Amino acid sequence: MTASQAGQLFVVATPIGNLNDFSQRAIDTLKIVDLIAAEDTRHSKLLLQHFGITTPLQSLHEHNEQQRSELLLQRLLAGESIALISDAGTPLISDPGYRLVSLVKSQAIQVVPVPGSCALISALSVSGVASDRFSFEGFLPPKSAARRQQLSQLKNDQHTLIFYESPRRLLDTLKDCAEIFGPERRGCLARELTKIHETIETRPLSELLEWVAGDANQQRGECVLLIEGASDAVTADEQEMQRVLSLLLPELPVKKAAAIAAGITGGSKNEAYQLALKLQQK
């Protein structure tokens, strides 16, 4: 069988809360395909029943994706059509499906998007934080040291940063953000989007932290955290670090130059290193 006789793989978004956000095209697609690959079949069964969708389901989650993708590929090659859904929102966005899509495309089989809800895009569209350039960073590491290191690496990025975060870690993450990005930098907490307790709050990080710390309800439910990008104004400290690095870099390896520059200016070694890498690329 050639790819032209093969079926199609539809990547279908499901609601992130409000069931009215399920598009008619998504419902129609899920009704006509031969099989639906779902992250958690028990969870999806309830949604599908609600919309009268009786298509057979098969699980595809992070632990069986590799092996399941091969089987799904065989079915596509045999001419069947398959839809991929996740527990909520758009598959592949902090959800399984990348391996399947990549494998299916490698066989020149058509992959068709059926777009809809996505928590990060919904949050960005209402945050009031710049939306022209942004990077989606997924979930931060759960352990504090790794999380802080990742945030430090993002500190000077000038585009909006978007994170998914568990409500259990929200307060700790906000504390780290206020410390690393500075209390004045604005953040937006977008919680329980499209649901009854939807909350979208944009404030300087110190205020956002205080507000969340003082209200246990803000530490519940699903949330997206957005952080405004760094301003492009270079601070006096950064200017000094740049000056010292530009003297040291022609003479020393990057790591050594960064360590000495950090010692001289009293700045962080990691920031000195990141800046040294940037200066070297110029």
Q: How far is the CB of 92 from ligand SAM (least distance, A)?
A: 7
191 bridge partner residues: 199, 223
Q: How far is the CB of 260 from ligand SAM (least distance, A)?
A: 41
- The residue ranges that bind ligand SAM (CB under 6 A) are 16-17, 86, 88-90, 93-95, 118-120, 164-165, 190-195, 222-224
* Closer to ligand SAM by Cβ: residue 155 or 169: 169
* Closer to ligand SAM by Cβ: residue 20 or 54: 20
Task: Decide if 171 contacts 165 (C-beta within 8 A).
Answer: no
* Closer to ligand SAM by Cβ: residue 6 or 224: 224
∠ CA 38-165-116, rounded to 5°: 45
Residue type, 16: I
Q: Position of tokens 């994706």?
A: 65
Q: How far is the CB of 25 from ligand SAM (least distance, A)?
A: 17
Q: How far is the CB of 111 from ligand SAM (least distance, A)?
A: 17
d(CA 60, CA 80): 17
Q: How far is the CB of 140 from ligand SAM (least distance, A)?
A: 11
Among 152, 186, 146, CA closest to 169: 146
Q: How far is the CB of 155 from ligand SAM (least distance, A)?
A: 22
Report the residue closest to ligand SAM, judged by CB.
89
Q: List b or e across 9-42, with b for residues whose CB sees 16 or more CB atoms inside 10 angstroms.
A: bbbbbbbbbeeebbbeebbebbeebebbbbbebe
* Closer to ligand SAM by Cβ: residue 222 or 271: 222
* Closer to ligand SAM by Cβ: residue 165 or 228: 165
Task: Decide if 139 contacts 164 (C-beta within 8 A).
Answer: yes
Residue type, 273: Y
* Closer to ligand SAM by Cβ: residue 17 or 267: 17
